[in-house]
Chain A
């Protein structure tokens, strides 16, 4: 059964990939190259088209238009069983009537591989579940089932492993452990992993490269640090972690940095992090980058004065403040509880500052709250 398409390998390339369900555009003219051997995450809120994209790569959904390549082989309309692609399904989809051993051996047997036993044992060793090989899937815990689903896919040594919200059904502690394990396994086997998730922390922990998807399009792609430190759109800034986005006007441009007028205060914005098309800008700063002190304290860097604390919550490692600014906006500040000073209280007038290098600028014509309602962390 081994032919050109099942043995294809190389980068995964999506060209103008589009999928419509009736009038609804699930995936909108997607162009994407996922390098061979990388751990790639498609991150986005539910309904953003990430799972549909994955299913088209797996061959479980036919694209409306566009094409999918692995290396130089076009697999756009290839049957799922003829693709060098295996999937770890959201609820694992282990065959309930087969033993764990037979579940893992399933793909090998269908391809007529010779040394099934050796390979199954190796895969079970990789996920450390050799002792469960004669059990049935429903005798296993969720975490064990998850690892068997992974072994069942990896044993086939596909060019591409697709993971559809693989950790969604596990509890938080197990999910953390599995994140580390998945990352380790990917490094171990060297297969390209494409991981679909709505959990930004999961994506950031595991992936080399993250593509943030929204409404069928990729908003931004890059390393976790790139996306976090230098978001290009309000959606990315709010969906990946939390951001303070303040309306402003660029009044002065120099080579390295510009000056932004924010309700009368002049703040510095590094030119490489300015993504506004014109002088209208949303000035962004992450809450944990901001230093906060009682009004009148000496500060340097970008300084915002005149705020009043409207809410303070002490959460152990840090204290989270809501600071109401003179123009009515509430800014978020996360302050590490590491300097022995007592937390500020509600109603205290404060001054805030941060290193100008952490500032980023987004196009001023977008909704400053885009993506924040979709972020499960910002509830």
Chain B
């Protein structure tokens, strides 16, 4: 009895970790498992194992069209949000200007506003401007809410940059442009990359704001939401699982490259 309790107290953290990770990963395991389900109509009950869904990911009507839209929107929104957000981060991180502290607070507002409110008011705005909701209104909406995250991420990186490195570059005959190109940008780049990944996943994932501002354009989250009411095709699980695996690979590659760079073995 005493031994059992000692074993228990010694391994408490491990047990806790196993429980925690189980809790985190069960839904993902379900997603992956049910991508192999041989269901035809609804993917809620296990019928049998099949490769068919993976061999034919576009098998369900409209799923690949929706996915294509989501990828296009994601790439465009990431592109614009990353460029604009990075420029803003440099302005706010590097230059003292009137009202900087207010701008710092304002940049947090889109992150704090409930998405449902933002989605609704964006729609109101687009309609009052006479825009028809569709592909580009989604892109504009996504750029808008991604920018804040980019600014915060890149600004953190800029803040951690030792100003002496740029001074050293200037001291070593690099003018302002060369200093930015050779020293500042390469050192901030990991922050920009992280911000871009974050922006893409936020955009790809977004349902609420998209649903308000998409008109009849379908995106992947919208597709999943709508088909869930009629019976979700297993192809949705295939795409979901693929996204998970791609993200996992990106993280692993990132870790590997990072380790190689810093020389930690």
Contact = CB atoms under 8 A, between A and B. Distances in A.
B45 interface: no
B263 A138 contact: yes
Given A60-B170, A89-B164, A89-B167, A79 B187 contact: no
A91 B171 contact: no
A142 B142 CA distance: 47
Nearest to B262: A138
Given A79-B170, A90-B164, A153-B172, 10 more contacts: A60-B167, A60-B170, A60-B171, A81-B170, A81-B172, A87-B171, A95-B183, A136-B261, A138-B263, A156-B172
B172 A106 contact: yes
B168 interface: yes
B162, B171, B263 interface centre (most CB from chain A within 10 Å): B171
Interface in A103-138: 106-107, 110-111, 135-136, 138
Given A135-B263, A138-B262, A111 B173 contact: yes
B167 A96 contact: no
A73 to B, nearest CB: 16
Contact of B263 (A58, A106, A136, A156): A136
- By Cβ-Cβ distance, the 5 closest A-B pairs, closest first, are A107-B172, A110-B173, A93-B168, A93-B164, A80-B170
Contacts of A59: 170-171
Interface string B239-265: 000000000000000000000011100
A85 interface: yes
A232 interface: no
A67 interface: no
A378 interface: no
B62 interface: no
A135 B262 CA distance: 10
A120 to B, nearest CB: 13
B263 A95 contact: no
23 contacts: A1-B173, A58-B167, A58-B171, A79-B175, A80-B171, A81-B171, A81-B173, A81-B174, A81-B175, A87-B167, A87-B168, A87-B171, A89-B164, A91-B164, A93-B164, A93-B168, A94-B168, A95-B165, A107-B173, A110-B173, A111-B173, A136-B261, A136-B263
Nearest to B187: A97
Interface string A137-180: 01100000000000011001000000000000000000000000
Q: Give the interface SS of chain B, mostly helix, strand, loop or mixed.
A: helix
B168 A89 contact: yes
Contacts, number: 69
A86 interface: yes
Contact of B167 (A93, A97, A139, A152): A93
A110 B262 contact: no
Interface of B: 162, 164-165, 167-175, 178, 182-183, 186-187, 261-263
A374 B178 CA distance: 41
Interface of A: 1, 6, 58-60, 79-81, 85-87, 89-91, 93-97, 106-107, 110-111, 135-136, 138-139, 152-153, 156
Contacts of A94: 168
A141 B88 CA distance: 37
A156 B164 CA distance: 19
Contacts of A156: 172-173
A59 B183 CA distance: 19
A94 B187 CA distance: 12
A26 B57 CA distance: 70
Contacts of A80: 167, 170-171
B174 A110 contact: yes
Given A85-B171, A110-B173, A93 B263 contact: no
A87, A110, A135, A152 interface centre (most CB from chain B within 10 Å): A110
Contacts of A97: 186-187
A93 B162 contact: yes
Contacts of B165: 93, 95-96
A192 B172 CA distance: 17
Contacts of B173: 1, 6, 81, 107, 110-111, 156
A130 B172 CA distance: 21
Nearest to A107: B172
B165, B170, B186 interface centre (most CB from chain A within 10 Å): B170
